[in-house]
A and B are shown apart, each in its own frame.
Chain A
Amino acid sequence: MSIFSPSATKIRFVVGMVGIAGAFFLPWWVPLVCMMGLALRYPAWEVLVIGLVMDLLWLPGQGFEVPVFLITGIILVWICAPLRNQFLRP
């Protein structure tokens, strides 16, 4: 089954929405789990958006702080790319 089939797209959309909503309302580990799930399965730009939203919302804002979630998102997206290409090729 292709990863671009409608059901896969729906799953990706739902997980992405849970991740973005979770950045506002749910415990911090929920967006993190969504980021990891999305990055493992899809070349998902949502991972970067969730990471950015988490850091913009919750970083204390005292000078420059390390944006842990954004860096995690970038690492997840680009480190998982060869893995996805190897095992999840359509």
Chain B
Amino acid sequence: MMNSYRQNKSPHRRLLALTVLVIFLFLLDVLTGGSVRHQLRGGAVVLARWSSYVSGGIAGSGVFRTRASLESQNRSLAEELAQYEERAGAYEVLRVENEELRAFVRLVEGTSREGQGVTAPVVSSVRTSPYGTFLIGAGEAEGIVRGSQVLTSGGFVVGTVTDTGAHTATVGEVFAPGASVEASVGGASFTAEGSGGGNARAKVPRALSIRINEPVLAPQLGQRPIGIVGSIASSTASASQELFIVLPVNLSSLRYVYILPVRN
């Protein structure tokens, strides 16, 4: 019994010390305005860039292709043809990237009256955060401030900047789980409840005539679109109908976002 007590005492002391330490670190971060979290997020951005570089290299090397497919490819393709294919692939990558950036240029031209914004890469997956946030690779040094609206290339607001580091910023999704936002469709106002992943739902009176794919605007975000009506659930027994609002772009596939400057 005594031996058992002695064996268990040390891990408990370590755990207690570490519990106090993590609480101290969290409070230190809160009291210093995020000094710890900004360092950690800077590290996360570097890690994300490295992992993207490494995964791209592995995918390009073909390590995970099946042996059968590699044999088939070896039989069917001459070396010269493979080179052309590689060039064509590289061209396709550049073309897609060019299209995305052209879309942002159009967006910038459309919003130029409000001042110059910043195009920033998305450096984290939206599925990783339990709080409906994601990281972008631009921060205070690039002129991003808290409260800036974050837009897709199509001009839909995906969120607002909630925290900024030197070269990173945290974006809180408009449709984060548990978040609510005032929205309007065809002149009718209601509150949309976010459920994460670019989805939200809202209850509106059944008398309102609302069509699928109709844009949903947010008055508090400068009457910008925040999504479209994906589907409508209506019952004759109920006085209200339920709207399912979706962002017309897959959040997981977002590579760049445009950050609008905050108007003073």
Contacts and interface: CB of A to CB of B under 8 A. Distances in A.
B14 A45 contact: yes
Contact of B133 (A23, A58, A81): A58
Interface in B1-59: 4, 7-8, 11-12, 14-15, 18-19, 22-23, 25-26, 29-30, 34, 36-37, 40-41, 44, 47-48, 51
B40 A90 contact: no
B184 interface: no
A29 B76 CA distance: 43
Interface string B209-246: 00000000000000000000000000000000000000
A3 to B, nearest CB: 10
Interface stretch (B83-91, B96-104, B121-129, B253-261): B121-129
Nearest to A90: B7
A61 B162 contact: yes
Interface string A34-78: 000000000101001101111111111110110111100110011
Given A48-B19, A62-B172, A90-B7, A81 B129 contact: no
Contact of A85 (B8, B26, B124, B146): B8
Contact of B128 (A25, A48, A73): A25
Interface residues of A, number: 37
A27 interface: yes
A56 B19 contact: no
A13 interface: no
B172 A58 contact: no
Interface string B113-157: 000000000001101111101010000000000100000000000
Contacts of A89: 4
A67 B36 CA distance: 14
B40 A57 contact: yes
Contact of A52 (B12, B26, B128, B133): B26
A85 B128 CA distance: 33
Given A26-B128, A27-B128, A81-B12, A60 B22 contact: no
Contacts of A85: 8
B30 A58 contact: no
Interface of B: 4, 7-8, 11-12, 14-15, 18-19, 22-23, 25-26, 29-30, 34, 36-37, 40-41, 44, 47-48, 51, 124-125, 127-131, 133, 135, 146, 162-163, 170, 172
